[in-house]
């Protein structure tokens, strides 16, 4: 004969079943076990802390309606949370907290909870759940080259690595184009945390793999186990979150995992190829969460950073290349770091296979596979761009009537180099600088000539600019 609490819960399930989808019912209600009914209070047992939180967040209204129908208006619900079978407490009880504070929010949850948690990365047949961080040890802060393009992101990442979950950078959101080092920095953060705080459970996961794991868990009716696993992570590193676009169910699951981790002081670091404001197909509530912490943009590396990257790679590989070859590669491959390193590998491979010295001619041959056109026409526009990138100002400023020293210097140098490297007349050169007359161009050339005679630093800067222009036209 069924106990009263079993009959009451069975009747509740009949009501609930007619109001939710079969998948929701099998995932969130079939695992529930009724354990007691005292007066108007029904106690149910759920598999985990998160299971309890999910019911409270999503289904407490329908459960209450079912209870009121069976017990009456004074019906109340109490939860019993299953802990590890080896934990002396066994279970912990929570009342229904909708609208009330939860005094037991810090209940202990071990990394391995009985046999209920399935690690998506564990090899089938292994009994003990062991969480593999999925980190590549090659990616560290030591071999991550810092430049103006990534200085903020690196500094924030290192701060997070020293104190995960203890900074204002939670989540830390890194964004920028393909091949500029986002994944490297993401994994460097994880590796540094593992080194500083080995007790932290760190997980690096690409968003497409997360989505596939969720889909698989839904097929196997083990969604709550999937969620339980991720809720045990101390530092969650999500790569390329833009792939969540239009994946509504995956977004919902991640949204709730995000909330659980963030509310419990866990660290999240996320990468994307664009800023949250530019992401399409992502729910607004999730976008708002992504903007809670720090947004750090990573841009294409400048020439100096590209040169440093090549130097670092040469050192790591134990090779020495002629300086002019390194300069040529660094200057002409300005797409991303991935192409830059790929060109270097190809250059070394070619030199090894054909047994020839690495020179500019070989470099030009290799680089043709990475850029559309290595040789560029030296135009006034190209000179303006080169000078302004070197000085660190916008090219548009060259056409404005401003007397700011750095702008005036850039304008004079650009006019000087335009006269040297192009066939444009003085009048044509002036037209590229806001329709300046030819006398202004003559004056600028004279100023540069005078500075070259007396200013050593100015000579060095101009020599560097000449070298970059020459590299573009080899």
Same domain, 170 and 266: yes
How many helical (H) and strand (E) elements, i.e. helices and strands, does the chain have? 19, 9
> Which band of pLDDT confidence, cut at 50, 70 and 90, is reported for residue 126?
very low
Q: Is residue 66 part of a domain?
A: yes
Q: Is residue 117 part of a domain?
A: no
Same domain, 90 and 13: yes
Report the range out of 98-102, 114-118, 139-143 with the highest average pLDDT.
139-143
Same domain, 265 and 176: yes
Same domain, 49 and 77: yes
Question: How many whole angstroms separate alpha carbon 5 and alpha carbon 44?
Answer: 9
How far, rounded to the nearest angstrom, does the alpha carbon of residue 395 sit from its chain's CA centroid?
31
| Domain carrying residue 250 | 151-297
Bridge partners (DSSP) of residue 272 are 175
Q: Is residue 17 part of a domain?
A: yes
What confidence score (pLDDT) does residue 474 get? 53
> Which band of pLDDT confidence, cut at 50, 70 and 90, is reported for residue 293?
very high
Q: Is residue 254 part of a domain?
A: yes
Mean pLDDT value of segment 306-319? 81
Q: Which long-range contacts (CB under 8 A, 24 or more apart) does 386-389 make?
A: 386/465, 386/468, 386/469, 386/472, 387/413, 387/414, 387/417, 387/465, 388/414, 389/302, 389/303
Question: How many whole angstroms separate alpha carbon 449 and alpha carbon 353?
Answer: 48
Mean pLDDT value of segment 277-299? 93
What confidence score (pLDDT) does residue 55 get? 82
Scored b (16 or more CB within 10 A) or e, 216-230 reads: ebbeeebbbbbbbbb
| Residue whose C-alpha is closest to residue 406's, from 421, 430, 390, 425 | 390
Same domain, 214 and 257: yes
Same domain, 339 and 278: no
Q: What is the CATH number of the domain that holds 308?
A: 1.10.8.60
Same domain, 285 and 314: no
Q: What is the CATH number of the domain that holds 439?
A: 1.10.1750.10
Q: Is residue 108 part of a domain?
A: no
Same domain, 218 and 350: no
Decide if pLDDT at 111 tops 80: no
Question: How many whole angstroms separate alpha carbon 341 and alpha carbon 37?
Answer: 67
Q: Is residue 125 part of a domain?
A: no
CA 17 vs CA 59, 66, 70, 73, 425: distances in Å: 12, 10, 15, 21, 83
What confidence score (pLDDT) does residue 371 get? 65
Report the range out of 58-67, 277-286, 314-323, 328-337 with the highest average pLDDT.
277-286
Counted domains in the chain: 4
The domain boundary, picked from 244, 277, 297, lies at: 297
Q: Which of 370-374, 376-380, 433-437 has the lowest mean pLDDT?
A: 370-374
What confidence score (pLDDT) does residue 103 get? 30
> Which band of pLDDT confidence, cut at 50, 70 and 90, is reported for residue 105?
very low
What confidence score (pLDDT) does residue 248 get? 92
The domain boundary, picked from 313, 346, 367, lies at: 367
Residues 6+ apart with CB under 8 A from 148: 302, 305
Q: Is residue 330 part of a domain?
A: yes
| Cis peptide, bond prior to residue 178, ω within 30 of zero | no
The domain boundary, picked from 259, 280, 297, lies at: 297
Report the range out of 29-33, 130-134, 464-468 with the highest average pLDDT.
29-33
Q: Note whether 354 and 433 are within 8 A (CB).
A: no
Q: What is the CATH number of the domain that holds 64?
A: 3.30.300.180
Residues 6+ apart with CB under 8 A from 375: 472, 473, 474
Helix 360-367 to helix 323-332 angle, to the nearest 10 degrees?
20
> Which band of pLDDT confidence, cut at 50, 70 and 90, is reported for residue 112?
very low
Mean pLDDT value of segment 117-139? 62
Same domain, 70 and 182: no
Q: Is residue 27 part of a domain?
A: yes
CA dihedral 185, 189, 191, 192 (to 10 degrees): 130
Q: Give the CA diameter of the chain.
A: 107
Q: Which of 93-97, 131-135, 199-203, 468-472 has the lowest mean pLDDT?
A: 93-97
| Residue whose C-alpha is closest to residue 281's, from 366, 176, 207, 196 | 207
Same domain, 23 and 49: yes
Tens of pLDDT along 442-466? 999 999 999 988 888 999 889 888 8
Same domain, 274 and 323: no
Same domain, 442 and 405: yes
Question: How many whole angstroms separate alpha carbon 217 and alpha carbon 238?
Answer: 19
DSSP classification of residue 93 = E
Report which of residues 271 and 122 the model is more confident about.
271
Q: What tokens were used for 285?
A: 């509530």
């Amino acid at each position: 004969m069924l106990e009263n609490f079993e009959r009451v819960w069975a009747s509740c399930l009949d009501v609930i079943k007619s109001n939710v989808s079969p998948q929701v019912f099998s995932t969130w209600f079939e695992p529930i076990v009724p354990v007691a009914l005292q007066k108007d209070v029904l106690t149910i047992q759920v598999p985990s802390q998160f299971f309890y939180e999910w019911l409270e967040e999503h289904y407490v209204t329908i459960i209450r309606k079912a209870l009121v129908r069976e017990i009456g208006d004074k019906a109340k619900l109490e939860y019993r949370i299953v802990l590890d079978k080896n934990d002396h407490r066994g279970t912990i009880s929570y009342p229904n907290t909708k609208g009330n504070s939860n005094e037991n929010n810090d209940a202990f949850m071990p990394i391995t909870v009985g046999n209920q948690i399935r690690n998506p990365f564990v090899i089938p047949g292994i009994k003990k759940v062991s969480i593999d961080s999925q980190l590549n040890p090659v990616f560290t802060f030591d071999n991550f080259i810092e430049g103006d393009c990534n200085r903020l992101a690196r500094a924030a990442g290192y701060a997070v690595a020293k104190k995960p979950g203890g900074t204002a950078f939670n989540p830390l959101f890194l964004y920028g184009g393909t091949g500029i080092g986002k994944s490297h920095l993401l994994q460097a953060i994880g590796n540094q945390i593992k080194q500083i705080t080995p007790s932290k459970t760190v997980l690096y996961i690409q968003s497409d793999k997360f989505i596939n794991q969720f889909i698989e868990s839904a097929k196997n009716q083990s969604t709550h186990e999937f969620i339980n696993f991720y809720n045990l992570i101390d530092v969650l590193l999500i790569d390329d979150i833009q792939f969540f676009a239009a994946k509504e169910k995956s977004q919902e699951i991640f949204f709730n995992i995000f909330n659980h981790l963030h509310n419990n002081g866990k660290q999240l670091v996320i990468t994307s190829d664009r800023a949250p404001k530019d992401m399409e197909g992502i729910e607004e509530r999730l976008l708002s969460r992504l903007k809670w912490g720090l947004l750090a943009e990573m841009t294409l590396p400048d020439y100096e950073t590209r040169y440093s990257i090549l130097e670092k790679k040469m050192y790591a590989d134990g090779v020495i290349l002629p300086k002019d070859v390194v300069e040529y590669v660094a200057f002409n491959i300005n797409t991303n770091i991935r192409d830059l390193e790929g060109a270097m590998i190809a250059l070394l491979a070619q030199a090894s296979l054909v047994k020839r010295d690495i020179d500019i001619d070989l470099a030009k041959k290799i680089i043709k596979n990475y850029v559309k056109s290595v040789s560029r026409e030296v135009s006034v526009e190209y000179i303006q761009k080169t000078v302004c990138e070197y000085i660190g100002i916008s090219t548009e400023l060259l056409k404005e009537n401003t007397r700011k020293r750095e702008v005036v210097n850039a304008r004079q140098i650009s006019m000087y180099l335009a006269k040297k490297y192009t066939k444009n007349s003085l009048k044509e050169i002036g037209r590229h600088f806001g329709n300046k007359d030819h006398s202004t161009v003559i004056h600028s050339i004279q100023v540069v000539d005078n500075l070259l005679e007396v200013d050593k630093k100015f000579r060095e800067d101009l020599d560097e600019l000449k070298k970059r222009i020459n590299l573009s036209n080899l």
